[in-house]
Amino acid sequence: MTSVHQVAENQLMLLQNGTAFFPQLCADIDAAQHSIYLETYIFAADETGRMVADALQRAAARGVMVRLLLDGFGSAELPQYWVNELRMAGIEVQWFRREVSPFTLRRSRKRRLLRLHRKLAMMDGEVAFVGGINIINDIPEYGDFTVPRLDYAVRVQGAVTGEIHAAMRRLWGVVSWVNFRKRGKEIRRFVLEKEEHAVAPGITFLLRDNLRHRRDIERAYLKAITGAQREIIIANAYFLPGRIFRRALNQAVRRGVRIVLLLQGKVEYRLQHYATHALYEQLLAMGVEIYEYQASYLHAKVAVVDGQWATVGSSNIDPFSLLLAREANLAIKDAGFAGELRASLLAAIDNDAVRIGNEYGGTGNFFGRLVARFSYGMVRLLIGMLGYRRRGS
């Protein structure tokens, strides 16, 4: 049973996997009275997509303002008749950068790869969801999986929802201007308006964009790692940190901190998967424990430090999330919440993961290491071509 954690003036509920997330999301959509904002990278035309779409349409029929923002790449396979149906029901649907071409990687066109990767929902400005769960069936339809993707979201009520609401309204306004070419003063109001929100002690809403929040999520991780005294557990679907991040992990190990990484064990996207393997030798040599999740795809982007600090959100620790995409995380300082997430991660490690040993770097794995280094080089080349390579990456 999911616990509710009181953190200052906020109530937090950790939701593991879509089996917990989607029923709660739809229940809150059904309870909304005034407004609903929903942002997602993937909105799939499957049973889960239908469940959420139906809930949104019920809300619109009640007179609730419903605004749905979809990423143009992640949701590209959503049929047009689904979009038409939503719009006919009174739902406002917009696309974030729908024009996508994998063959236009020139620096002048790099903005095409700036994706909306965050997964946020807001009802009546009072109930919010922040996490990594897309609107898609919980159990992958490809592969022989019988268990859901490992992923997390947080349902939050309280002071921090004002900040989340403002961020979603601001991005909606920016996309509206881009899509419909509204007057210039309107984009300035949305982009440059001063961000003043109630401070919520113990909980921080973190954004990553290419304006004022380029490194907020990365800095939050680095601050937590630098202050760690006993243990760091990171679960990440695509773990490809830069040198500054790896140096912070190394320094933590030297202080006697136990570092545990739970990473993707199943191949979903080959380039990112094998590029991560290129760092295994270095991480193992540091003394980092590496576990690969085997039960299904790992889609989580979470961490727990010293059983006191936790983060849940959409941001992977790789160049695509930290340098290109719009992301959103919550950082929470609370022993109860962090303890619940920690227990969930340790259970996944004990029951559904295998540990990677030092034999990974042996001569018998020469071909695997060659593929990993090639993949890592391709990722760095791609980031360099886009003009995003920076010192410490």
- Per-10-residue mean pLDDT, the chain, length 393: 86 97 98 98 97 98 98 95 98 86 45 80 98 93 79 97 96 86 52 53 90 90 97 94 94 98 82 77 94 94 98 89 86 97 98 85 57 63 53 41
Q: At residue 321, what is the residue type? A: S
Note the pLDDT of residue 106. 44
According to the model, what pLDDT value does residue 107 have? 41
Are 378 and 275 contacting, i.e. CB atoms less than 8 angstroms apart? yes
Report which of 224, 206, 204 is spatially closest to residue 215, judged by C-alpha positions.
206
**How many CB atoms lie under 10 A from the CB of residue 340?**
20
Nearest to 66, CA basis, from 96, 95, 108, 35: 35
Query: Do 309 and 338 contact (CB within 8 A), yes or no?
Result: yes
Cβ–Cβ under 8 Å, residues 265 and 232: no
Nearest to 315 by CA among 190, 152, 161, 124: 152
- Cα separation of 372 and 239, whole Å? 13
Round to whole Å and give the CA distance between 53 and 51. 6
* Farthest CA pair distance, the chain: 65
pLDDT at residue 191, as a whole number: 52
The reported pLDDT for the residue numbered 183 is 47
Task: Say which CATH class 4-202 falls into.
Answer: alpha beta
Task: Report the alpha-carbon distance of residue 294 to residue 296 in Å, rounded.
Answer: 6
Instruction: Give catalytic residues, as residue numbers.
Output: 117, 119, 124, 299, 301, 306
Residue-level pLDDT at 164: 97
Closest by Cα among 249, 380, 234, 261 to 320: 380
State the CATH architecture for 216-385: 2-Layer Sandwich (3.30)
Residue the block writes with tokens 């795809």: 297
Q: In which element (H, E) is residue 108 found?
A: none
Residue ranges, CATH 3.30.870.10, the chain: 4-202, 216-385
Residue partners of 384: CB distance under 8 A and separation at least 6: none
The count of residues in the chain is 393
Whole-angstrom Cα distance, residue 292 to residue 239?
A: 12
Residue 347: per-residue pLDDT:
98
Closest by alpha carbon to 202, among 336, 106, 29? 336
Closest among 160, 149, 150 to 120, alpha carbons compared: 160
